[in-house]
Amino acid sequence: MVTVAKKNVDLNFQDVLPAVRGRYSFGTLLSGLTWFQVGGPAEVLYKPEDVSDLQYFLKNKPSDLSYFLLGAGSNVLVRDGGYDGVVIKLGRGFSEITVQDNELVVGAASLDRTVAMFAMQHGMSGVEFLVTIPGSIGGAVAMNAGCYEFEVKDVLSWVEIVDDQGMLHKLFPHELNMSYRKSVLPIGCVIVRAAFKVTEGDAVGIQHNIQRYLQLREESQPTKGRTGGSTFKNPDHAKAWELIDKAGCRGMEIGAAKMSDKHCNFMLNTGGATADELERLGELVRQKVKKISEKELEWEIIRIGRAA
């Protein structure tokens, strides 16, 4: 029986979930929705039709419902037992991209790469770095994603969020306390749109930047692997990959989980790994790094769900 997470364990989900226009599905495997391609099922997967449908859901959901917003799943490790509650996944109704004055206004489900390419095609500069980040705009804002010396916070104008009671708000970067791979968002909120500052640029220059970033990425990272990107954040005054390398963890394996040979802060599912193998490998790396350096590596990858 499908049940509401935590407290209402005897309630049937179908009886208590709001009658939305979007789609519910039950028991969908989340491995198909994450880059690692591991993880058990979501009790409920909810795909809202549009912003007002999402607002209706959040306003009328049971008050003790657990829910999680999954973007493109490029920074998430879902455990093998799956997620007890509702996983919300934004889709087509959240993917519009428009130009308004000097801002690119983007639905949260748009992929970072699509946004960078859109800007390039419209002769707009400022968001080229997004081309190599394989997530969605919602995930990019939530994680303050960045690379090649740019971060989302450098170019963000504002975001629109729906709070856990279904109310729509516009927030500005100073209200999000954005720092290295982190934004402080109201608990339970869903980012639905974001606007980025862009300037008119020279098409050749923009194209050149994009090509350069793509090439740099290809040279240094296993871009086609089943991975979650950087496993750990860089500690203050240190690089996670250097610590991992020094601790002898480059290429280390547990089952089919492996620390990449090419970029040793990337963890890989080399084929058939479980979330448990990946998580145990990450914890082992943390222990080994602590032993040689006294530094505590902090997971950058978001881990959700329960063990099998």
Task: Give yes or no: 181 in active site.
Answer: yes
Least Cβ distance, residue 137 to ligand FAD (angstroms): 8
Q: Which residues contact 237 (CB under 8 A, 6 or more apart)?
A: none
How far, in Å, are 105, 124, 170, 195, 217 from residue 68 at the CA level? Answer: 24, 33, 21, 23, 30
- How many residues bind ligand FAD, per CB under 6 A? 33
Q: Which is nearer to ligand FAD, 76 or 104 (CB)?
A: 76
Least Cβ distance, residue 248 to ligand FAD (angstroms): 24
Q: Which is nearer to ligand FAD, 22 or 71 (CB)?
A: 71
Of the residues 230, 250, 260, 286, only one is catalytic, namely 230
Tell me if 195 contacts ligand FAD by CB under 6 A: no
Tell me if 55 contacts ligand FAD by CB under 6 A: no
Retrieve residue 268's tokens.
């890989």
Q: What interhelical angle do 203-220 and 112-121 show, nearest 10?
A: 150
Least Cβ distance, residue 280 to ligand FAD (angstroms): 20
Candidates 41, 48, 126, 134; binder of ligand FAD (CB under 6 A) is 134
Rule CB under 6 A: which of 285-304 touch ligand FAD? 302
Rule CB under 6 A: which of 222-281 touch ligand FAD? 223, 227-229
Q: Which is nearer to ligand FAD, 184 or 203 (CB)?
A: 184
Q: Which is nearer to ligand FAD, 181 or 258 (CB)?
A: 181
Tell me if 93 contacts ligand FAD by CB under 6 A: no
Q: Which is nearer to ligand FAD, 34 or 274 (CB)?
A: 34
Task: Give yes or no: 230 in active site.
Answer: yes
Looking at 14-22, 52-60, 129-137, 234-242, which segment touches ligand FAD (CB under 6 A)? 129-137
Retrieve residue 272's tokens.
């058939």
Least Cβ distance, residue 265 to ligand FAD (angstroms): 10
Tell me if 71 contacts ligand FAD by CB under 6 A: yes
Rule CB under 6 A: which of 13-42 touch ligand FAD? 35
Name the residue among 238, 223, 257 with its Cα closest to residue 295.
Answer: 238
| Contact footprint for ligand FAD (CB under 6 A) | 35, 68-76, 90, 108, 133-136, 138-140, 142-143, 145-147, 181, 190-191, 221, 223, 227-229, 302
Residues labelled as active-site residues? 181, 230, 300
